[in-house]
Structure 1
Amino acid sequence: MEATPTTVDERLEIPRLESPRRRVIAIATVVLLMVGAVTAYFVSRRPQDSPYRVTPVTRTSIVKEIRVTGHLELTDEVEVPAPIEGQLVEVFVEPGDQVENGQLLAQLDEGSAQMAVDVSRAELEVARARIAEAEAAVQRAKQALERTERLAEKGLASERVLEIARSETAKARAALQAARAERSAAQRRLSLRSLERKRTSIVAPRAGLVLEVPPRTGMIVGPRNRLFRIGAPVEEMHVRAPIGEADIGEVVVGQGAKFEVPTYPGKVFEATVKHISPDPKVEYGAIFYDVTLKTSNPERVLLPGMTAQVRIKVAEVDDVLAVREASLRFTPEGAPSAPARTRVWRVESTKLEEVAVEPGLSDGAMTEVRPTEPESLRINDKIAIGLALNDDNAAAAPSLSLRGHRQ
């Protein structure tokens, strides 16, 4: 059986949408295709890159602080020598110990002190014997002088013999005076040695922290030898910090400060400026002044020598317009000259608009700004801080149209 041939028009004939339902489906399909095409266009379209790095204008608080590195110290310290000369036989404390006023630190050999007393007592006996001998010599010289004078009256003794007798009498009296002086000196030495015998114990002259002790026992020590160093109690301590000459004018006695130590990360300690040294110190050509801050240490967690990261608050403003400090230092190529830090550049597409401002307090990163024209600067305005980097995601800076003018 042969098939009935069909024409080209018959093969391409589009079926008629006689049903209303089919028409709705077809229209919906076309709409969806168009929405998808538009969405794909906007999604795939790359926004125009800005040639600038920008930062927004914000309203915030700014605190200016001086930040320096210092070290903890005791408020003062005393040196303790041996009260008398003698042999050190025992030490009762170690560095880091807390001691009270009058507490026993070390002991000297009492035998040496007793021996010194015995020697002094013997010297005193010798001095007394010399006095007796000198008194006897004076008595003999006086008697010899009296005999010589009687003989001279009778013409039996020459003038020269008489002078010799008188001289011997004077010498005997001088020897007696010397013996008596020696006895007085021996008595004083005996009293001193007797007192020293009671001072063989070395005690703390104040309460505080032991910083240094003798390296060993058995050595001979005396009043010229420093044996111990005792610092003030650690409940009150000092922080010594060098402040540069550019900042020292903003520091005053009584100013509050805060500091941290690496030993206790995140723990903040309070301090107060106590003293500002007028004596400058030069390090690598820079001038610094030592500032002493006092701090309380009731828990005794702070120790001498610890490093302190100090922050001294010198000024603060609240609820002010602020920009990054870098934006005040940015000047685009071709811009008219102006005093430093007196303008910022607001970004509008690829154009810049100059906004005159008066800078205020700065913490080094953010700076307070006051526009010379009210309402010329608003929160969230984009301010240029520099050109964008020339990489795959940033466009090169075009020739700019600078708008705005300075008053």
Structure 2
Amino acid sequence: GLGDISQTVSATGTLNPVVLVRVGTQVSGTVSKLHADFNDRVHAGEVLVELDDALFRAQVQQSEANVGNAEATLELTAANEARMRPLRRQGFISEQELDQAEAAAKSARAQLALAQAQLEKDRTNLGYTVIRSPVAGVVVDRQVDVGQTVAASFQTPTLFLIAQDLSRMQIDSSFAEADIGNIRVAQPVGFKVDAFPDRTFQGTVKLIRLNPVTQQNVVTYDVVMAVDNPDEILLPGMTAYVNIAVARRQGVPVVPNAALRFRPAEPVPAAAPPRGHEGPTATVYVLEDDQLRRVGIVPGISDNRYTEVLSGELAAGARVVVEDRQGAVAASTPVGIFQTRLF
């Protein structure tokens, strides 16, 4: 008969925030205060954690003293240079003595600049003891406690994970190379999650990554799908069971998939191949006058229940056999033991 059919490709994936920010520390120290916890909503610039700053304050004070000392040295050497110049013009001192005074003043200026740079660095490090959220979002993970020592290194330790916006999420999945050619950006996506088994959520294909992933000689491609989550009931880390409709047909001839799998116990004379169409063929069996007749068809797209018939000698109303209810039967067995479907 005629029907609507949709062919899909399936995969599993993981729901993730679109933007997940790892908040770390740029200085080492001991955690003294925590200002955020799991599931807290934070604003950009909001304080998340404070480190013990006693050593950093002491370093700033030392650098401030060094700057004061450098300023005093510069003032002294600059004054000495200023006194030397007229004395040199009057011939009371040698050129070497003036050069030494000028060099001392230049060195004092350099030492002052160095001390000021160190002070700026120490003030910056002091500021780093207060760790703020770089974005507005939700704290999805906290990996630090009060009293814990954190060490800044080449791999900055992660203190917090912040999801920027849980109302928009994405599914990270992978599809086999046999299916990837049917997937296009902006295709609609349907998916389910274990937490809500009776509900189908919707999304769209956002990105097909070109870099292949090969594991045990199996090639797959990563696909990212955009998902709206206005109620924020979908949570990071959930497993998504994805279906993407890659082909649709409406009002086309279809047969049950069970009819393509059916094989009688006794051989039935072969049917002529479908005419006017090239490509792979399949076989179904129809019941006519209590006899099985073998019919060749050219199948089209298929879903879990039906397969499209592109061509073949199936007439409207034909009784297509889908099941042998008694096991081994002959082609001439009466109608009653076969389960059939009208085509």
Instruction: Give the TM-score band, short-chain normalised.
Output: 0.7 to 0.9
The reply to whether residue 361 of structure 1 matches residue 334 of structure 2 is no
Larger deviation, residues 195-204 vs 208-217? 195-204
Q: CA RMSD in A?
A: 3.6
The CA distance in 2 between the partners of 1:325 and 1:128, in whole Å, is 90
Name structure 1 gaps, 5 residues minimum.
Answer: 1-57, 151-161, 401-407
Aligned to 2:145: 216
The reply to whether residue 377 of structure 1 matches residue 315 of structure 2 is yes
Aligned to 2:115: 186
More strand by share: 2
TM-score, with structure 2 as normaliser: 0.78
The CA distance in 1 between the partners of 2:198 and 2:223, in whole Å, is 24
Aligned to 2:270: 335
Secondary structure at 2:198 match in 1: coil
The reply to whether residue 316 of structure 1 matches residue 251 of structure 2 is no
TM-score, with structure 1 as normaliser: 0.67
Equivalent position to 1:235, from 163, 167, 175: 167
Q: CA deviation at 1:70?
A: 0.8
How many residues were matched structurally? 322
Name structure 2 gaps, 5 residues minimum.
Answer: 274-278, 334-343
Equivalent AA in structure 1 for residue 119 of structure 2 = L
Q: CA deviation at 1:334?
A: 6.5
Deviations 1:217-259 (A, max 9, x none): 3425559634333222111100112111111111111111111
> Is the 8 Å Cα contact of residues 355 and 371 (structure 1) preserved in structure 2?
no
> Is the 8 Å Cα contact of residues 77 and 101 (structure 2) preserved in structure 1?
yes
Residues 89 and 366 (structure 1 numbering): CA distance in 2 closer, same or farther, change over 3 Å?
A: same
Residues 286 and 198 (structure 1 numbering): CA distance in 2 closer, same or farther, change over 3 Å?
A: closer
Q: CA deviation at 1:81?
A: 3.3
The CA distance in 1 between the partners of 2:173 and 2:295, in whole Å, is 41
The CA distance in 2 between the partners of 1:203 and 1:107, in whole Å, is 9
The CA distance in 1 between the partners of 2:176 and 2:232, in whole Å, is 30
Residues 328 and 268 (structure 1 numbering): CA distance in 2 closer, same or farther, change over 3 Å?
A: closer
Secondary structure at 2:70 match in 1: helix
The CA distance in 1 between the partners of 2:311 and 2:85, in whole Å, is 114
> Is the 8 Å Cα contact of residues 328 and 341 (structure 1) preserved in structure 2?
no
Structure number with greater Rg is: 1
The reply to whether residue 177 of structure 1 matches residue 106 of structure 2 is yes
Residues 79 and 398 (structure 1 numbering): CA distance in 2 closer, same or farther, change over 3 Å?
A: closer
Equivalent position to 1:301, from 233, 236, 261: 233
Equivalent position to 1:268, from 178, 200, 204: 200
Aligned to 1:61: 4
> Is the 8 Å Cα contact of residues 280 and 298 (structure 2) preserved in structure 1?
no
Q: CA deviation at 1:316?
A: 2.1
Q: CA deviation at 1:310?
A: 0.7
Deviations 1:131-190 (A, max 9, x none): 35545775898799889x77xxxxxxxxxxx9xx65554344323211111112223433
Aligned to 2:135: 206
Q: CA deviation at 1:265?
A: 1.6
The CA distance in 1 between the partners of 2:183 and 2:171, in whole Å, is 15
Secondary structure at 1:72 match in 2: strand
Equivalent AA in structure 2 for residue 176 of structure 1 = A
> Is the 8 Å Cα contact of residues 17 and 236 (structure 2) preserved in structure 1?
yes
The CA distance in 2 between the partners of 1:328 and 1:191, in whole Å, is 79
> Is the 8 Å Cα contact of residues 278 and 289 (structure 1) preserved in structure 2?
yes
Equivalent AA in structure 2 for residue 65 of structure 1 = T
Aligned to 1:347: 287
Secondary structure at 1:266 match in 2: strand
Residues 127 and 220 (structure 1 numbering): CA distance in 2 closer, same or farther, change over 3 Å?
A: farther
The CA distance in 1 between the partners of 2:174 and 2:150, in whole Å, is 42
The CA distance in 2 between the partners of 1:228 and 1:306, in whole Å, is 20
Equivalent position to 1:126, from 64, 69, 81: 69
> Is the 8 Å Cα contact of residues 257 and 306 (structure 2) preserved in structure 1?
yes
Q: How does 1:95-106 map to 2 (within 5 A)?
A: 95-106=38-49
Secondary structure at 1:274 match in 2: strand
> Is the 8 Å Cα contact of residues 70 and 309 (structure 1) preserved in structure 2?
yes
Residues 328 and 380 (structure 1 numbering): CA distance in 2 closer, same or farther, change over 3 Å?
A: same
> Is the 8 Å Cα contact of residues 344 and 383 (structure 1) preserved in structure 2?
yes
Equivalent position to 1:291, from 223, 229, 238: 223
Secondary structure at 1:253 match in 2: coil
Larger deviation, residues 220-229 vs 61-70? 220-229
More helix by share: 1
